[in-house]
Each structure stands twice: as structure tokens, then as C-alpha cells.
């Protein structure tokens, strides 16, 4: 007998998928920024955080337990409480002297809890909604997952920054202007490293930038000149104790354990190469955009043993102007009377007037990040309490019967076996692996194509322009495509809209063929092409997500959906691994023609799958 009062999916789907996305971005992105602010070297950050993605990769291996034990509703609430406890654990361990090891251990706990939450949340979504509502809200759940990502990368960082501002010295300000009217010069500081013989005394600590306003010409300098400027800043800052020297490769290898050398390093490198962000670890000093050193000094000596750390980052402006070196500087009683050096640089493709401002913060960083993670922990405990009362209780959400320690592993293997016994299993696997074959290759090369010079077949955009075109307009198109796809699929059903969605995800790739052939200079045309392609992908991807839900239906649907997501990740990973290699061999124009040829596989695998006519479509209510 059904509950007469049906709870609206709007009451829990947005919060459920917001809660699904937030811990992921906290582990994969926010942790990197936090460690950077706390003074961990780039080498250690890359080494130890790159393999935190592992729990999301291997989650299908424990997904059967979610089907066998307890209810999906119980797992969702329990994992949210555990994630909240983990985030509080991060907050408590940040002030510790060995915080790096402790917080990494807790991040591992959060990662496994979050991956388990993903399994349970996706399973609960399929149990709590009929096929029509599953289609209707598939775009909404994706949207709130993306909102969580934006919140984590934006709001959390802003909160930490505000806390740093309120607890430290007055922020140091640096204004950088760039344009063709300014000169492009190469200048090294004078040999005297002392600010002056009689430094200005002040009752308060105060940072001073010299010069406070930098005007950079847009004419390029040589790569060697840019490298010399960076090398000067690095050597000077290390020699005077403003930064610590990065460990050499030999030192790192000597300190590595067998596990690090044989397991975590190769695994971390594999995950970073195939799942990491585009341009991660990019050596900006190899660019030949105009650059200038900026000296930073402190007004008076800190107390003996006291450290004042200056963290500098962009406040606002064009990302085509960036801080190439010196984002974290440490002042002590021994080096305060000498200048530390930052290096600002412009994108070499910049050809118009623009500006950016930078802010240096020196607050209590440990306190700021502890409070930020306490806030995040409080949110998760609140969301767990909310879901405890708001999540519906579908009759089908129940644990397996007669689960004992004796037969649990038997059920575990039977769950996997039952997946591969489903009808059309090999066609379904082919669909999961090949439906996104064109996009899996295209997505790896979009940013490089937009950034690369026109002489080598790219669009020659600046970093700031790519942030607008792909990071803003592209995301808007992707989100709108997903939402509209879900609404339309809910009206006519997946089978009716399967072919339009397959053609949508295929034909829109032609926009990049157009861009590579004609290389239009109009930013409006480039934005329009990227929007169309990303909209087509978002719209077409709806069919893919709905088919995973459709194929996973039946007994053990939660575990089976998790296995589907593993094939989904594999379908993106394998083609992406060879995309860059192939593009370097044949060039951008021929590469995008190759992507269009690969669209044949999308159409081919779509032709073989079978979907029930009624799946996703609203059924007429039968009146008593």
C-alpha cells in the first residue's frame, strides 16, 4: 500500500547530489589548495594527493555489500555522518605538528566514505523514483553535483581567504597592468640585497610591494630571459630562507619506501595522467610572455622564532596575467631586512590592454582552514539530519534476506556474476565503452586547442579567454543540455529520444572541425561553437545516464549501476590516453576529422541496444 502523501523529489534530490559532489571536490581539489597554503611542497602534494582518486575508481568492488547489508537510505545517512566526522577530523588535525600525515589519513577515510555514499545515493535514486521521474530529474541531479563542485572550488576557498585576512596583517596589494603601450624590458635587481641601511620602523607589521604597480608590455621576451628572471628569484629566496629548496630527485628516491616506490608512485602517476586536470604541473616559466620581478619587504623584525607567512594569489582581473613564482614567502627575524621576490608574467598571446590585482595574506592559515573544515563538517552533519527525516522510504529499499557471515561472500560473487548474465550484456558493455568515444578524445584536446598558437593549428586564445570560453560558456551549455535532455526524455521516454540524443552528441563535434579549418578570430563565433558542442554533449549524455539506470534495473541494481559507472570511466580513460599522442602525429584539423569518423561508433552501438518503450515516460494513472 503506497503512502498517500508522496514527498516531492525536489525536497531531496538537490541536497542529495549536492552532498555527493562536495566531499569529492574537498578531497581532490580543496586538499591541494590547503596543503599549498600550509607550505607543503609541490612535489609532496602531487605525490601524496594524486592517488586519493583511487576509492572512486575501485568502488564497484564493494558495491555488492551496499546491496546486501542495510538499506540504501541507511547507507546514505550513515556515510554523510561519517564524511562529516572525517571533515571534523581534518579540522582537528590541521594544527598538529605532523598534520600532513594525519590529514592525509583522514582524507583517505573521507574518500572511501564518499565513494560509498555515491553508490548508495545512486541506488536510492533508482529505488525512490519511477522511470519517468528518473528521466525527469537526471539533469537536475547532474546540475546540483556541478554546483557542489563550484561551491567547493569557490566558496570554501573564499571563506578560508576571508579568515586569513581577518587574522593576519593588512593584506599586501599588487596591481598589474598589461598592454601594447607598455615597454617590454628585461631587468634584474641591483646586487645589494638589503632594502636600506635604516629601515622604516613601524608600530605594526606591514608588507610593502616594490613596485606596487607593474606595467607589462605585451611584446614577448625570450624563453631564456623569462627563465633567468625565475631562476634569480628562486635562488635569492632559497638563499635567504624565504622558501625551502625542493628536494632533488635523488633525495626523494632515497627517502622512498618500497610501497611508495613500487605501488603508490606508479599508481599516483597513472591516476594523475589519466584523471588529473588539464595542464596540471605546467611549467609557466617556459612561456615567453613579458615578466617582471616584484620585491616584498616587511616593515620591522618579527620576534625571534616567529614566522610570518605571506600567501599571494589573484584577487580579481584577467587570468592572462598570473603569478609565475612566489605565492608563499616566509619572513623571520633573520631575513626580514632583505627583499623577497615574486615573479608576475603575462600570457605571450595577450595582445590587448587588460589588468589584474593580487592580494597577499598573512593570517593564521592553520586556524583559517580548521574553521573552514569545521563549517563543512557542520554542514554535513546538518544535511545527514535533514535526510534522516526527509528522504522517502520506498518499499523496495530493503536489505537482502538471510545475510550471514557464512554466505555473504557467496552473495558478493553472485552479484557480480548476475551482472554479466544480463540480457544484451556484451552489447551494453560496448555501448558503455564506445558511446562517448568521440567526446572522450575531444575533451582532452579542447583546452590545448584553444590555447595553442594559430601557427600550429590552434585558436591562439589567452588563458583568461579560455577560462571564459570553456570554463564559463562551455559549462553553461553542458548544464543546459543536461537539464533539457532530462525534461524531454521524461515526456517521451528514453526510446523516443535515444536517436536524437545520439546524433546530438555526435554531430556537434563538427563545430571543432569548423574551428580548426577556418580558425575564426571572432570570440563570439568561438564561444558559440563551444556552447553548441557542450550543449550537444550534455543533451546526448542524458541518454547514456538513463541507459545505465535502465540496464542496472532489477535485483542488485545498486551494485550493477556502480559496475556500469566503472565501464563509463574506462570508456573515457582509454581513448583519452591516446588522444594527445594522436593529435601530435596528425595535427588538430585531421584529429577533429578523426573524431567525426569515431562518431560512427556512437551511432553503431546505439543501433544495437534495446530499450523498453515505456522507460522514462510517464504512465497514465489507473483510477479505481
Q: What is the mean pLDDT of residues 428-432?
A: 93
**Structural contact between residues 460 and 352, judged by C-beta atoms closer than 8 angstroms:** no
pLDDT level of residue 270 (50, 70, 90 thresholds):
low
Cα–Cα dist 225/293, whole Å: 12
Q: Computed from CA positions of residues 208, 212, 218, 222, in that sequence, does the dihedral angle turn out positive or negative?
A: negative
More confident of the two residues 33 and 50: 33
More confident of the two residues 137 and 195: 137
Q: Is the pLDDT reported for residue 619 higher than 90? A: no
pLDDT level of residue 274 (50, 70, 90 thresholds):
low
Predicted pLDDT at 283: 41
In DSSP terms, 217 is beta-bridged to 179
In DSSP terms, 176 is beta-bridged to 214, 356
pLDDT level of residue 200 (50, 70, 90 thresholds):
very low
Cα–Cα dist 426/543, whole Å: 18
Predicted pLDDT at 278: 42
Question: What rounded mean pLDDT belongs to the chain?
Answer: 83
Residue 183 burial by CB count (10 A; 0-12/13-18/19+): exposed, middle or buried?
exposed
Q: Which of 118-122, 155-159, 281-285 has the highest mean predicted lDDT (pLDDT)?
A: 118-122
Angle in degrees, 0-180, between the axes of helices 72-93 and 365-390, rounded to the nearest 10 = 170
Predicted pLDDT at 237: 92
**pLDDT tens per residue, range 478-495:** 889 988 988 888 888 888
Q: What is the mean pLDDT of residues 370-391?
A: 94
Cα–Cα dist 144/484, whole Å: 15
**pLDDT tens per residue, range 537-588:** 999 999 998 999 889 888 778 888 888 888 888 888 788 778 878 888 888 8
More confident of the two residues 465 and 109: 109
Can you count the helices (H) and strands (E) in the chain? 22, 9
pTM, two decimals, is: 0.76
More confident of the two residues 62 and 379: 379
Q: Which residue in 511, 514, 484, 512 sits closest to 500, CA to CA?
A: 484
Q: State how far Cα 423 lies from the chain centre.
A: 36
More confident of the two residues 556 and 108: 108
Instruction: Count the neighbouring beta carbons within 10 Å of the beta carbon of residue 438.
Output: 25
* Farthest-apart Cα atoms in the chain, separation: 95
pLDDT level of residue 2 (50, 70, 90 thresholds):
very low
pLDDT level of residue 249 (50, 70, 90 thresholds):
low
Domains and CATH numbers, the chain: 1-168+364-413 (1.20.1250.20), 171-246+281-362 (no CATH), 420-619 (1.20.1250.20)
Predicted pLDDT at 600: 95
Q: Check residue 117 and give left, alpha or beta (phi > 0: left; psi -120 to 50: alpha).
A: alpha
Least confident piece of the model among 51-55, 71-75, 249-253, 343-347? 249-253
Q: Is the pLDDT reported for residue 427 higher than 60? A: yes
C-alpha cell at 556: 542488485
Q: How far is CA 398 from CA 72, 127, 494, 573, in A?
A: 8, 10, 27, 34
pLDDT level of residue 521 (50, 70, 90 thresholds):
confident
pLDDT level of residue 285 (50, 70, 90 thresholds):
very low
Q: Is the pLDDT reported for residue 20 higher than 60? A: yes
End-to-end CA distance of the chain: 14
Provide, rounded to the nearest whole percent, the portion of the chain with pLDDT above 90: 33
Cα–Cα dist 106/89, whole Å: 7
Query: How is residue 474 annotated by DSSP?
Result: I
In DSSP terms, 455 is beta-bridged to none
Q: Is the pLDDT reported for residue 120 higher than 50? A: yes
C-alpha cell at 154: 569557490
Predicted pLDDT at 470: 80
pLDDT level of residue 156 (50, 70, 90 thresholds):
confident
Q: Which long-range contacts (CB under 8 A, 24 or more apart) does 512-518 make?
A: 512/442, 512/446, 512/449, 512/592, 512/595, 513/589, 513/592, 513/593, 513/595, 513/596, 515/449, 515/459, 515/592, 516/449, 516/457, 516/588, 516/589, 516/591, 516/592, 517/589
Least confident piece of the model among 188-202, 246-260, 454-468, 545-559? 188-202
Amino acid at each position: 500500500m503506497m503512502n498517500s502523501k508522496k514527498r516531492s523529489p525536489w525536497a531531496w534530490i538537490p541536497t542529495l547530489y549536492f552532498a555527493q559532489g562536495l566531499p569529492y571536490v574537498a578531497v581532490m581539489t580543496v586538499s591541494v589548495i590547503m596543503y599549498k597554503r600550509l607550505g607543503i611542497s609541490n612535489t609532496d602534494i602531487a605525490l601524496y594527493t594524486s592517488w586519493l582518486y583511487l576509492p572512486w575508481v575501485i568502488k564497484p568492488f564493494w558495491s555488492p555489500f551496499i546491496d546486501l547489508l542495510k538499506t540504501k537510505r541507511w547507507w546514505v545517512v550513515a556515510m554523510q555522518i561519517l564524511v562529516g566526522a572525517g571533515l571534523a577530523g581534518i579540522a582537528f588535525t590541521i594544527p598538529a605538528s605532523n598534520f600532513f600525515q594525519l590529514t592525509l589519513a583522514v582524507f583517505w577515510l573521507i574518500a572511501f566514505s564518499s565513494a560509498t555514499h555515491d553508490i548508495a545515493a545512486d541506488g536510492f535514486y533508482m529505488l525512490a523514483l519511477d522511470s519517468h521521474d528518473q528521466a525527469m530529474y537526471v539533469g537536475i541531479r547532474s546540475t546540483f553535483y556541478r554546483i557542489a563542485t563550484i561551491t567547493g572550488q569557490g566558496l570554501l576557498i573564499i571563506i578560508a581567504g576571508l579568515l586569513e585576512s581577518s587574522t593576519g596583517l593588512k593584506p599586501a596589494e599588487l596591481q598589474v597592468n598589461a598592454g601594447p603601450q607598455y615597454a617590454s624590458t628585461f631587468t634584474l635587481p641591483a646586487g645589494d640585497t638589503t632594502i636600506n641601511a635604516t629601515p622604516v620602523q613601524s608600530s605594526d607589521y606591514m608588507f610593502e610591494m616594490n613596485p606596487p604597480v607593474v606595467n607589462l608590455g605585451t611584446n614577448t621576451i625570450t624563453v631564456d630571459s623569462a627563465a633567468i628572471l625565475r631562476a634569480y628569484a628562486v635562488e635569492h629566496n632559497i638563499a635567504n630562507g624565504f622558501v625551502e629548496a625542493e628536494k632533488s630527485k635523488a633525495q626523494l628516491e632515497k627517502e622512498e619506501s618500497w610501497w611508495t616506490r613500487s605501488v603508490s608512485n606508479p599508481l599516483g602517476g597513472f591516476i594523475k595522467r589519466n584523471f588529473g586536470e588539464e595542464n596540471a604541473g605546467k611549467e609557466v616559466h617556459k612561456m615567453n610572455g613579458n615578466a617582471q620581478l616584484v620585491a616584498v619587504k616587511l616593515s620591522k623584525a618579527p620576534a625571534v622564532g616567529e614566522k610570518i607567512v605571506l600567501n599571494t594569489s589573484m584577487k580579481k582581473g584577467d587570468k592572462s596575467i598570473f603569478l609565475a613564482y612566489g605565492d608563499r614567502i616566509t619572513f623571520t627575524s633573520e631575513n626580514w631586512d632583505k627583499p623577497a621576490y615574486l615573479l608576475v608574467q603575462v600570457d605571450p598571446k595577450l595582445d590587448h590592454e587588460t589588468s589584474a590585482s593580487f592580494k597577499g595574506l598573512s593570517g593564521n592559515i592553520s586556524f583559517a582552514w580548521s574553521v573552514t573544515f569545521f563549517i563543512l563538517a557542520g554542514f554535513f552533519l546538518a544535511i545527514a539530519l535533514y535526510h534522516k527525516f526527509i528522504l522517502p522510504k520506498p518499499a523496495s529499499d530493503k536489505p537482502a534476506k538471510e545475510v550471514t557471515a557464512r554466505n555473504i561472500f557467496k552473495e558478493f560473487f553472485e552479484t557480480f556474476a548476475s551482472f554479466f548474465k544480463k540480457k544484451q550484456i556484451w552489447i551494453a558493455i560496448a555501448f558503455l565503452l564506445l558511446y562517448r568515444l568521440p567526446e572522450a578524445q575531444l575533451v582532452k584536446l579542447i583546452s590545448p586547442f584553444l590555447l595553442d598558437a594559430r601557427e600550429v593549428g590552434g585558436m591562439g586564445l589567452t588563458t583568461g579567454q579560455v577560462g571564459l570560453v570553456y570554463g564559463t560558456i562551455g559549462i553553461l551549455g553542458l548544464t543546459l543540455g543536461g537539464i533539457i535532455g532530462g525534461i524531454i526524455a521524461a515526456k517521451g521516454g528514453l526510446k523516443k529520444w535515444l536517436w536524437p540524443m545520439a546524433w546530438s552528441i555526435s554531430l556537434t563535434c563538427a563545430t571543432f572541425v569548423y574551428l580548426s579549418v577556418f580558425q575564426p578570430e571572432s570570440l563570439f563565433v568561438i564561444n558559440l561553437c563551444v556552447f553548441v558542442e557542450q550543449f550537444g554533449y550534455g543533451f546526448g549524455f542524458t541518454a547514456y545516464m538513463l541507459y545505465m539506470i535502465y540496464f542496472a534495473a532489477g535485483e542488485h541494481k545498486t551494485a550493477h549501476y556502480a559496475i556500469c559507472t566503472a565501464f563509463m570511466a574506462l570508456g573515457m580513460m582509454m581513448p583519452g590516453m591516446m588522444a594527445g599522442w594522436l593529435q601530435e602525429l596528425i595535427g588538430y584539423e585531421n584529429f577533429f576529422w578523426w573524431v567525426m569518423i569515431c562518431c560512427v561508433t556512437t551511432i553503431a552501438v546505439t543501433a544495437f541496444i534495446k530499450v523498453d518503450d515505456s522507460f522514462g515516460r510517464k504512465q497514465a494513472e489507473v483510477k479505481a
